[in-house]
Amino acid sequence: MDNPVLDRRSGPLEQAAHDIVRAGQRMDARAWVPATAGNISCRLPDGRIAITRSGCHKGFLREQDVITVDGAGRPHDPGHRPSAETLLHCQVYRRMPDVGAVLHGHSVASTVLSMIEKTNALTLRDYEVQKVFDGQTTHDAAITVPLFANDQDIARLAGEVEPYFGAMPAGYIIRGHGVYVWGRDMDQALARLEGLEFLLACLLQRRTLEGRTLGA
């Protein structure tokens, strides 16, 4: 049997690698994945997960920088090293069977807001762009984006996130770290990431302006 990692004749893997490279370039162009931050993945039809290898700059990805792991985050090729955060991608796929792509970025807005917010979630309301998320049909609503404490023990962090599945239409944020967003395919995941990052940038700007007004 051909090696599932090395056989690039596989249409789904080749397409996934192409989509991941394209997503990395788009995220890099918007300064959401500085240095080697972030990771990007797709679910393959056979259940494997195609994901960026550890330590790659997402703006300069090549298709060979995309590896495959199983549902527990173990690489099919022992010589490949996925990010430790791969477990968080695997968790999304396990909990949400309709999800086909997961994106993780480190924007300035998500990092700063998550560090200064005192509650356990950011609340987004009255923005037209909210309609990019499931279940949102009007601007006249509020969406909460849960915040979780950063933790180098990814299994423990996943345990903190686990109870919130089913109640995170806009994804979630790890404090001082970045966002996790997903969709049925890469195009939808990118649209939701762009929507969330726009809303976070608006929220950060509003708080900055309100702070200046109060300090005047």
Distance CA 175, CA 215 (A): 26
Six-digit token pair at 135? 């279940």
How many Cα atoms within 13 Å fall on the side-chain side of residue 98? Answer: 5
Residues 6+ apart with CB under 8 A from 6: 77
Backbone φ/ψ region at 179: left (φ over 0), alpha (ψ -120 to 50), beta:
beta
Distance CA 53, CA 67 (A): 6
Helix (H, G, I), strand (E, B) or coil at 123: strand
Closest CA to 90 of 143, 25, 157, 151: 157
Six-digit token pair at 156? 């423990």
Residue 150 and residue 175 in contact, taking contact as beta carbons nearer than 8 Å: yes
Alpha carbon dihedral 60, 104, 190, 163, in 10-degree steps, equals 160
Q: Is 104 annotated as a binding residue?
A: yes
Q: Is 57 annotated as a binding residue?
A: no
Q: Which residues are annotated as a binding site?
A: 104, 106
Q: Which residues are annotated as a binding site for Zn(2+)?
A: 104, 106
